[in-house]
Chains A and B, each alone.
Chain A
Amino acid sequence: EVQLVESGGGLIQPGGSLRLSCAASGFTVSSNYMSWVRQAPGKGLEWVSVIYSGGSTYYADSVKGRFTISRDNSKNTLYLQMNSLRAEDTAVYYCARTIAAQMDVWGKGTTVTVSS
């Protein structure tokens, strides 16, 4: 079964760091484009970052320079390293397999709360 499972969310103080993980099963992360999308409480969807199968990475302007997307091929896992966290980064973070820019498989999400 094709599946994505996120983990690593939690409560973190402003300025802190957190690393999210997204474990894949049923397909190979490194052979696909993989995205992170977030949703602030009561708000819509916001694209955050993508890593291409070739390794190129891209970020939304709102997180550029603070977040880093990566993958571990041996673990078939996607990551999002989040540094210098702000209150406005509070959201549910989803990972998604991305094929031709449409996101066809999503995880259930992990919640990040940035608050003192």
Chain B
Amino acid sequence: DIQMTQSPSSLSASVGDRVTITCRASQSISSYLNWYQQKPGKAPKLLIYAASSLQSGVPSRFSGSGSGTDFTLTISSLQPEDFATYYCQQSYSTPQNSFGQGTKLEIK
């Protein structure tokens, strides 16, 4: 099974900050990596797919990069509505598409 490890597990930042979240796979997954945002009590929302493709309707301040085993999600300028938990998900070993443990982004 492919294990996905996110870092950090939690992060405090301020509005306007540039933030980077990292996701590492236990083996190479090429670019088969997706990112989701989840707010408390809500369903997850797809942000980035195939490592760097922005889902329709997602603000351009979100970007993704990486391939192989190391990936990053970057928010260029944090907005108040961005404080949430972020999950990566590998889609290489379909259908066993495992998620990372999540990164909680909190207001400093």
A23-49 at interface with B (beta carbon < 8 Å): 37, 44-47
At the interface, yes or no: B87 with Cβ under 8 Å from chain A? Answer: yes
Contact of A103 among B46, B94, B101 (CB under 8 A): B46
Contact of A44 among B34, B55, B87 (CB under 8 A): B87
Contact indicator B99/A106 (Cβ below 8 Å): no
Supply 18 further A-B pairs (C-beta < 8 A) apart from A103-B36, A106-B45. Answer: A37-B44, A44-B87, A44-B100, A44-B101, A44-B102, A45-B99, A46-B99, A47-B97, A47-B98, A58-B95, A58-B96, A94-B43, A94-B44, A100-B49, A100-B91, A101-B34, A102-B91, A104-B46
- For the complex, what is the distance from the CA of A84 to the CA of B101, rounded to whole Å? 27
Q: Contact mask B77-108 → A, CB, 8 Å, 1/0?
A: 00000000001010100111111111000000
Q: Please list the residues of chain B having a beta carbon within 8 angstroms of any beta carbon in chain A.
A: 32, 34, 36, 38, 42-46, 49-50, 55, 87, 89, 91, 94-102
- Once A44-B100, A44-B101, A44-B102 are accepted as A-B contacts, the answer to whether A102 and B34 lie under 8 Å apart by CB is yes
A63-116 at interface with B (beta carbon < 8 Å): 94, 100-104, 106-109
Name the distance in Å between A58's Cβ and chain B's nearest Cβ: 4
Q: Please list the residues of chain A having a beta carbon within 8 angstroms of any beta carbon in chain B.
A: 37, 44-47, 50, 58, 60, 94, 100-104, 106-109
Which residues in B have their C-beta under 8 angstroms from that of A103?
34, 36, 44, 46, 89
Q: Interface centre among A44, A47, A94, A108, by most B CB within 10 Å? A: A44
